[in-house]
């Protein structure tokens, strides 16, 4: 005689109480409130203050001239400002070169150091060490490296070319100054992107590579069909971060060239600081900052839209 087995089912469901949802929302709001308050104080409010000052002739120091409302006068003046146009061009050129080169090099280094070999921790530390070094110190050191008389870079070029090339005035030549700063910036910042890629690679399931190897895929096909698709969102994040950092170029220019020679290394952030502090034209500098923010927003929005599309597709 068989005894029928009693099957028990859990019929108790979580009560659908709206109070639970409200409590969850309050808890989430409590966690994000500090960040929102900081963003409001240090980002949102200053931006609206900058919009207000951009419509005035405000100056950094007090004087006989009072602050007056000038409307769109600063923006109209900006249209004929050749220095601002040159700074915007230099920033765009810097970003066009910097973003793809640094992003690609960081991915290449991440693939190299993502190997289970002896000494890889040392190489990771070496590649990342420029990030933790103050940028002012890095710029000063590279200024000595670029020295036309005793700089190691010129000495190296002359040695490998048997004296046929060099020396070059890297920071005094309008054609070489901006590429020299690009080289420094790529070397200094590539370690951050490398670490981001490396962390994402180590989160890729090993089962995906095992399935690819079973299908006969080599290392190159595993990279293109497994690694890159899994790094899609990480690559987008790195592109956004690198684009923003490239438009914030200031320290290297201030330390190494002061915008010269012949405005060849002048950038928008450097020009804003120069107009507001050196020329004490806060109103005009605020107008440049507002336009620069809108330009950067236009550059970043397409990348953010692609992120949203990828998230919706994954869901």
pLDDT tens-digit readout, 268-283:
999 999 998 888 889 9
Q: What is the pLDDT of residue 3?
A: 46
Taking alpha carbons only, the member of 200, 188, 291 closest to residue 242 is: 188
| φ/ψ of residue 44, rounded to 5 | -70, -50
**Can you tell me the distance from the alpha carbon of 291 to that of 282, in angstroms, rounded to the nearest whole number?**
14
| φ/ψ of residue 69, rounded to 5 | -80, 125
Q: What is the pLDDT of residue 289?
A: 93
- Which tokens sit at 107? 């991915």
Q: What is the pLDDT of residue 1?
A: 44
**Can you tell me the distance from the alpha carbon of 179 to that of 171, in angstroms, rounded to the nearest whole number?**
9
Q: Which long-range contacts (CB under 8 A, 24 or more apart) does 85-91 make?
A: 86/263, 86/266, 87/263, 87/266, 87/267, 87/268, 87/270, 87/271, 88/268, 88/292, 88/295, 90/178, 90/263, 90/264, 90/265, 90/266, 90/267, 91/246, 91/247, 91/249, 91/267, 91/268
Mean pLDDT (10-residue bins), the chain, 315 residues: 47 54 79 91 91 88 72 91 92 92 92 82 83 90 88 88 85 92 93 91 90 87 90 88 89 91 92 89 92 86 68 58
**Can you tell me the distance from the alpha carbon of 280 to that of 266, in angstroms, rounded to the nearest whole number?**
18
Q: What is the pLDDT of residue 30?
A: 87
Residues sharing a CB contact under 8 Å with residue 234, sequence separation 6 or more, in sequence order? 196, 197, 200
* Domains of the chain: residue spans and CATH: 81-314 (1.10.3720.10)
Spell 135-163 as b/e; 16+ CB within 10 A means b.
Answer: beebbeebbebbbeeebebbeebeeeeee
Residues sharing a CB contact under 8 Å with residue 42, sequence separation 6 or more, in sequence order? none
Question: What is the pTM assigned to this prediction?
Answer: 0.82
Cα 137 from chain centroid (whole Å): 20
**Overall size of the chain counted in residues:** 315
Beta bridge partner(s), residue 56: 69
Q: What is the pLDDT of residue 237?
A: 87
């Amino acid at each position: 005689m068989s005894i029928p087995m009693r099957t028990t089912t859990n019929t108790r469901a979580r009560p659908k109480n709206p109070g639970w949802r409200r409590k969850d929302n309050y808890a989430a709001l409590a966690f994000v409130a500090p960040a929102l308050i900081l963003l409001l104080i240090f980002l949102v409010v200053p931006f609206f203050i900058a919009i207000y000052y951009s419509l005035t002739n405000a100056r950094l120091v007090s004087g006989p001239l009072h602050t007056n409302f000038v409307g769109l006068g600063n923006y109209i003046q900006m249209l004929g400002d050749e220095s601002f146009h040159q700074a915007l061009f230099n920033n765009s050129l810097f970003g066009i070169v910097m973003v793809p080169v640094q992003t690609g090099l960081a991915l290449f280094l991440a693939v190299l150091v993502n190997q289970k070999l002896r000494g890889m921790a040392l190489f990771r530390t070496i590649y990342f060490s420029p990030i933790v070094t103050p940028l002012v110190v890095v710029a000063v050191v590279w200024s000595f490296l670029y020295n036309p008389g005793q700089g190691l870079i010129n000495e190296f070029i002359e040695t490998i070319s048997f004296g046929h090339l060099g020396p070059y005035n890297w920071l005094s030549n309008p054609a070489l100054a901006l590429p020299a700063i690009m080289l420094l910036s790529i070397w200094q910042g590539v370690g951050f992107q490398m670490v981001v890629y490396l962390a994402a690679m180590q989160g890729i399931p090993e089962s995906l590579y095992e399935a690819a190897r079973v299908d006969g895929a080599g290392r190159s096909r595993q990279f293109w069909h497994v690694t890159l698709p899994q790094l899609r969102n990480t690559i987008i994040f790195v592109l956004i971060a690198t684009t923003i950092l490239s438009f914030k170029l200031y320290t290297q220019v201030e330390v190494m060239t002061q915008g010269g020679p012949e405005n060849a290394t002048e950038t928008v952030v450097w020009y804003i600081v120069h107009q507001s502090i050196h020329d004490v034209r806060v109103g005009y500098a605020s107008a440049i900052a507002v336009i620069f923010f809108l330009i950067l927003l236009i550059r970043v929005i397409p990348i953010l839209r692609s992120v949203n599309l990828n998230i919706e597709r994954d869901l």
